[in-house]
Amino acid sequence: MRIIVAPYAGFCFGVERALKIVENVVQHSKLPVYTWGPLIHNKMVVERLQNEYEVIPIEEFDHPPGYLILRTHGVPPDVVDEAKRNKFIVVDATCPFVAKVHRYAKLLTDEGYTVVIAGDKLHPEVRATLGYVGAYAYVVGDRKAASLLPECKKIGVVAQTTMLMDVYKEIISVLVTKCDELKIFNTICSATIRRQEAGIKLANNVDVMLVVGDRQSANTRRLTDIMKQVNPRTYQVEGPEEVDPSWFNNTKRVGVTGGASTPNWLIDKVIDKVKSFRQ
């Protein structure tokens, strides 16, 4: 049984950058270090940061002041303001691709557009983006939701960085019928697109496809959904303990990929588990 790892599997640039920021703060500070919510959507990594570096995720300012590192998904501006009022030292680890969504959303608002965010309204990235546009925004996750929006004179659109491009195009095709003027920013992360394309190529050429990553990770869930469309024998696992040997009956080739918040060491552990099933 041959195991093939897809290109771009594992940490993306934004996650690697955030972890380096955390390590740098920890090494140079004697103050407590916190993150606003989990730094990334991978509980194993978050637990490791807490156990090895004493980096604590918080969502209330009821802790002794120290460094507050903003999560990769970003935070609404009022969180930063409140942190400073409570004497926390703010360090921004927002992914640059996410920060670009915030900038464009604010720009559209300032220019008088009704802002539409294509994404999941419950996702922290989208909630952070809403903080930059106030009440003048809608969040839609698909074509049907877009069709329910009222007509507006000017609509400006941004996408959650992990949004599927095909879904984004469908939403845009509806919005163009809803307004006189439509302004669109393509804010889908290029690393997400590359990861999806590489996964599709691999899934087409293997018997079984494994996607490694936390189920709270939007990009990992979407990656799994895409792989299943290509290869029905696709399984998402958070760690090696979830790998089922029955998946590999009559299997010659196994593909493995990982979400943007999945560390390489976790992918390696899953691969080792699969190797243990070889006859």
Active site residues: 125
Alpha-carbon dihedral sign for residues 228, 231, 232, 235: negative
Instruction: In whole angstroms, give the CA distance from residue 75 to residue 130.
Output: 10
Tokens of 89: 């030292």
Written as one letter, the residue type at 177 is: T
Instruction: In whole angstroms, give the CA distance from residue 16 to residue 19.
Output: 5
**φ/ψ of residue 97, rounded to 5:** -65, -35
Instruction: In whole angstroms, give the CA distance from residue 18 to residue 100.
Output: 16
Residues 6+ apart with CB under 8 A from 119: 125, 126, 129, 139, 141, 159, 160, 162, 163
Alpha-carbon dihedral sign for residues 158, 263, 251, 244: negative
Tokens of 259: 């979400």
End-to-end distance of the chain based on CA atoms, in angstroms?
8
